[in-house]
A and B are shown apart, each in its own frame.
Chain A
Amino acid sequence: MSLTAKLALQQLKNNRRSTIWSLFGIILSVAMLTAVGGYGMGGAAILNDMLTNLYGEGTGANYEHASHVFSALIGGIVVITAIIVISNAFRVSASERTHQFGVMKSVGATKKQIRSTVMYEGIFLSIIGLPLGFVTGLLFQWLAIMITNIIMGGINYTMGFSVSPILIISMMVLSFCMVLLSAWLPAAKAAKIPAISAIRGIGEVKLRKEKPKKSRFIGKIFGFEGQLAAKQLKRSRRNFRATVISISVCIVLVLASVSINSHMFAFLDGRLEQLGDMRYSIFFSTANPDAAALTVEIAENITHKLKEFPGAEVDAHGSMLYSLAPELSVMSREDLVSLVVLEQEMYNRLINEIGAAYGSNILINVAHEIDSEGNMSQYNPYNGMVGQTLSLYPVETIIDEGGNVSPALGKVSEVEITAQITELPDDSFIKTAYAMFTNTKAIIVPELNFDGYSWIIFVDDITGFETYAQSVFDEHLTLRENETLHFMDIAEELIITTAVINFFSTFISIFSIMLALLGLTNVISTITTNIQLRAKEFAVLSSVGMTKGGMRRMLALESLLGSIRALIFGLPLGIFMAWLVYQGIIGVFGQFFNLPFIMPWRASAVCAFGVLAVTFAIMRFAAVSLNKGSIIETIRSGRIN
């Protein structure tokens, strides 16, 4: 064993307290990384499965994209948090070690020797810490999965316990790098400053301009101890930065997860209301709108036949999707326009009701909106569109020789909007068309070459309907090439949607709790580290006559001021994150109706209160351990000069 390795081992053995502290930090953060990573990946896989089952391949990919963005976000937060925890673990010994490296330098150690001592220390710590942390992490992951499965007991999906080798390796590498980095920082610091300054311990304290008024104000309320606290906070900002960051991360996590849950549940409520008492849908689609097997006459015949099923009401319409943008590459959701054709009888009823002439092109100017309680209301999204002529490019489906499907824009056509519906008629005659097209512009036209046609069936007792419907279609329609017919039980879809959302929000809640725990360990480690670093300072204060009560007041105010600073950073950041999450959710679900951003007021208030309470409690708790040793022993073994 080389000299530097021996030195490193010696250091770990002799400085048992800080070795244990560092090991604990490493184990904890590796465990959290493993658990969060494993749980997150497992959950995302299941979610993707469920969504693909429900909405088919294409949409699955859409969700997958959202979940990737989400994983990257969470991964980033996990990594940052882990870096903070591990480097905190080293911070206690860091100032000591800066001093020690200064001494080593002064007796002639080269930079390289110091560096390699540090490297060995990191390696030794990792040999024990990484595997232990990994095993603990798997335990956490297993626990979280068990809890999820218990909560999700009702549905057919269970989360399995799986360990991905790639995940393990990347976690290990990441953790190892962080350990080395954290061990390395004090050495780098010692290397940078002259040996003698390292020995004298020129600190991180800086004088800044202070407003005397403010400090007098704090002094009036909190006494001299309060002023001391304020000074401490001002002048050793670096020590507090870690605390502020860790608390902010915690707040961001909580607000983001609250945002996910509230928006998802609002969506679910809205969707349930929107679908109302629809029970069954049949959807015809074709790649050749000009030569479709289904014509308006055939469609109306089928509708008549379907209505013969006992108790059934049927609502039917054909549609074709158009783009306002001339290029696919510049097309956004706002550019989409659906042209809709109703059955002749319905169209006539409609123009009668709104007093429009035959041949009118009627804009559906009603959309759904949902408030934070999940209540749905109607509103008119468009202004002044009647009288406009739109240039529309049909979104066609191109199927190449290999059978691959891709969209393309066809030849432009002009459509003038001549009338509009601003209120939904009470009876259901165009309700389904409206439910289908809300949140994309839709125009009801008298005639259309459609590429899709839907029948929505309302019926109390659905038994036997599917066989009946199939026989009707067999009789009236022979599908041509590139045409499909899709039968769907809406009630079932709703059950699955509910299950997916329940799973998702359970998953997110548990995931967030895990992350918040990670954040909390972080906050705990930062604050206790800070207090430990100042053990000697407290002892000196006590030796010149500060009472325990005074010390408590000082710490209380420190935690108050620190928390306030963290809240000033964390709350806006958390609300921004909540908004980002909201953007992600409406990116996926916004096609159904408008979902306004639900401001996490209550969660913010809970966060603010929680942060104050938690930091205060941790400070108190950490300070208790300080009072154990006698003053003079603390001063003698102290860490500051």
Chain B
Amino acid sequence: MSILQVKELKKTYGKGDTTVTALDGVNLSVNKGEFVAIIGSSGSGKSTLMHLIGGVDRPNSGSVIVDGNEIFKQSESELAIFRRRNIGIIYQFYNLIPTLTAEENIMLPRLLDNRKPDNDKLKSILETIGLSARAKHLPSQLSGGQQQRVSVGRALINDPAIILADEPTGNLDSKSSREIIELLKLANKRYNQTLVIITHDEKIALQADRIVTISDGQIVKDEVMKA
């Protein structure tokens, strides 16, 4: 069953002579529980695609359907609510709220939903990401890898339909990178979490179920690694 469908997605930046076509008719379908790696050279449109799937940017044309919802047909606040419940985004540069502590940052999507702060869940996530001792620290008091682990925690808290990660390890040393990927894979295995990762790291890509290659705004290759 496909949890994500991308149809004829087009996105251009700029006007006139300086127009850049970042995505040029992308079609993609991802099943529930799949771990997909997206690779491609710099400037090929990977981040653009991810932002559109995550609903933080709008396409020129085409559609994105997540869990049966055509996201760009939704109003802005419907989309926001959809994001907090169904999508977990992890950026290369953590993007945490500087005034909130690690645990507050993790709880953010859940609290925004006015749901009860589920302490057991928080505890288990903090344990999983190995930050139980740092829960009350501000982002500025954490290392890069720790901050990224917080943003992984934030992506996991609401059991979203899809986790999107844009070079989540691009800023980290190899040990931290491995930890983050293990974390994500764990979620993928344990909770059957759908995972879309953009990466330049071949080793990471090879651990995925599927590798999608983008070039010049188009999907040029789509290989299934495991049966």
- Determine the residue in chain A with the shortest Cβ distance to B113: A545
- Determine the residue in chain B with the shortest Cβ distance to A232: B99
- Determine the residue in chain B with the shortest Cβ distance to A227: B111
Which 10 A-B pairs give the minimum distances between C-beta atoms?
A545-B84, A547-B77, A547-B80, A545-B83, A631-B56, A224-B111, A235-B99, A632-B57, A632-B51, A540-B95
Q: Which residues of B lie under 8 Å from residue A232 when comparing CB positions?
A: 99
B-contacting 9-mer, from A180-188, A201-209, A459-467, A580-588: A201-209
Most B C-beta atoms less than 10 A away, residue of A224, A536, A545: A545
Most A C-beta atoms less than 10 A away, residue of B51, B85, B97, B109: B97
Contact of B109 among A225, A228, A545, A633 (CB under 8 A): A545
Q: A537 in the interface, Cβ–Cβ < 8 Å?
A: yes
Q: Would you call B77 and A548 a contact (CB within 8 A)?
A: yes
- In chain A, positions 608-641 with a C-beta closer than 8 Å to chain B are 630-633, 635, 640-641
Q: Would you call B112 and A205 a contact (CB within 8 A)?
A: no
Contact of A205 among B84, B85, B99 (CB under 8 A): B99
- In chain A, positions 543-592 with a C-beta closer than 8 Å to chain B are 543-550
Q: A223 in the interface, Cβ–Cβ < 8 Å?
A: yes
Chain A proximity mask over B91-109: 1 for CB below 8 Å, otherwise 0: 1010111111100100011
A248 to chain B: closest CB distance in Å?
23
Q: Which residues of A lie under 8 Å from residue B98 when comparing CB positions?
A: 203, 205, 236, 537, 640-641
Contact of A544 among B57, B83, B93 (CB under 8 A): B83
Q: Would you call B77 and A224 a contact (CB within 8 A)?
A: no
Q: Would you call A630 and B140 a contact (CB within 8 A)?
A: no
Q: B81 in the interface, Cβ–Cβ < 8 Å?
A: yes
> Can you identify 14 A-B contacts, CB atoms within 8 angstroms?
A207-B101, A231-B100, A231-B104, A235-B99, A537-B98, A540-B96, A541-B97, A543-B56, A544-B112, A546-B80, A547-B81, A548-B76, A630-B57, A632-B57
**Count of chain A to chain B residue pairs whose CB atoms are closer than 8 Å in the complex:** 88
Q: B54 in the interface, Cβ–Cβ < 8 Å?
A: yes
- In chain B, positions 49-71 with a C-beta closer than 8 Å to chain A are 51, 54, 56-58
Q: B154 in the interface, Cβ–Cβ < 8 Å?
A: yes
Q: Would you call A545 and B85 a contact (CB within 8 A)?
A: yes
Q: Would you call B114 and A224 a contact (CB within 8 A)?
A: yes
Q: Would you call B112 and A550 a contact (CB within 8 A)?
A: yes
Q: Which residues of A lie under 8 Å from residue B181 when comparing CB positions?
A: none
A207 to chain B: closest CB distance in Å?
6
Q: Which residues of B lie under 8 Å from residue A205 when comparing CB positions?
A: 98-99, 138, 140
Q: Would you call B56 and A630 a contact (CB within 8 A)?
A: yes
Q: Would you call B99 and A544 a contact (CB within 8 A)?
A: no
Q: Would you call A545 and B93 a contact (CB within 8 A)?
A: no
Q: Report if A543-B54 is in contact (Cβ < 8 Å); known contacts: A205-B99, A231-B99, A537-B98.
A: yes
Q: B89 in the interface, Cβ–Cβ < 8 Å?
A: yes
| Bound: A227/B81 CA distance, A | 19
Q: Which residues of A lie under 8 Å from residue B154 when comparing CB positions?
A: 544
Q: How many residues of B contact A (CB 8 A)?
A: 35
Q: A158 in the interface, Cβ–Cβ < 8 Å?
A: no
Q: Which residues of A lie under 8 Å from residue B81 when comparing CB positions?
A: 545, 547
Q: Which residues of B lie under 8 Å from residue A201 when comparing CB positions?
A: 140
| Bound: A632/B104 CA distance, A | 22
Q: A542 in the interface, Cβ–Cβ < 8 Å?
A: yes
- Determine the residue in chain A with the shortest Cβ distance to B13: A633
| Bound: A80/B217 CA distance, A | 55
Q: Would you call B140 and A544 a contact (CB within 8 A)?
A: no
Q: Would you call A207 and B112 a contact (CB within 8 A)?
A: no
A103 to chain B: closest CB distance in Å?
16
| Bound: A426/B109 CA distance, A | 81
Q: Would you call B100 and A544 a contact (CB within 8 A)?
A: no
Q: Which residues of A lie under 8 Å from residue B109 when comparing CB positions?
A: 544-545
A227 to chain B: closest CB distance in Å?
8
- Determine the residue in chain A with the shortest Cβ distance to B157: A544
Q: Which residues of B lie under 8 Å from residue A640 when comparing CB positions?
A: 98
Q: Would you call A546 and B91 a contact (CB within 8 A)?
A: no
| Bound: A472/B87 CA distance, A | 104
Q: Which residues of A lie under 8 Å from residue B91 when comparing CB positions?
A: 635
A442 to chain B: closest CB distance in Å?
67
Q: Report if A546-B84 is in contact (Cβ < 8 Å); known contacts: A224-B111, A235-B99, A635-B91.
A: yes
A200 to chain B: closest CB distance in Å?
8
B100 to chain A: closest CB distance in Å?
7
| Bound: A537/B113 CA distance, A | 18
| Bound: A225/B100 CA distance, A | 13
Q: Report if A545-B80 is in contact (Cβ < 8 Å); known contacts: A235-B99, A632-B57, A635-B91.
A: yes
Q: Would you call B95 and A635 a contact (CB within 8 A)?
A: yes
| Bound: A96/B96 CA distance, A | 18
- Determine the residue in chain B with the shortest Cβ distance to A538: B97
Most A C-beta atoms less than 10 A away, residue of B57, B80, B93: B80
Q: Which residues of A lie under 8 Å from residue B51 when comparing CB positions?
A: 632
- Determine the residue in chain A with the shortest Cβ distance to B51: A632
Q: Report if A203-B140 is in contact (Cβ < 8 Å); known contacts: A543-B56, A546-B80, A547-B80.
A: yes
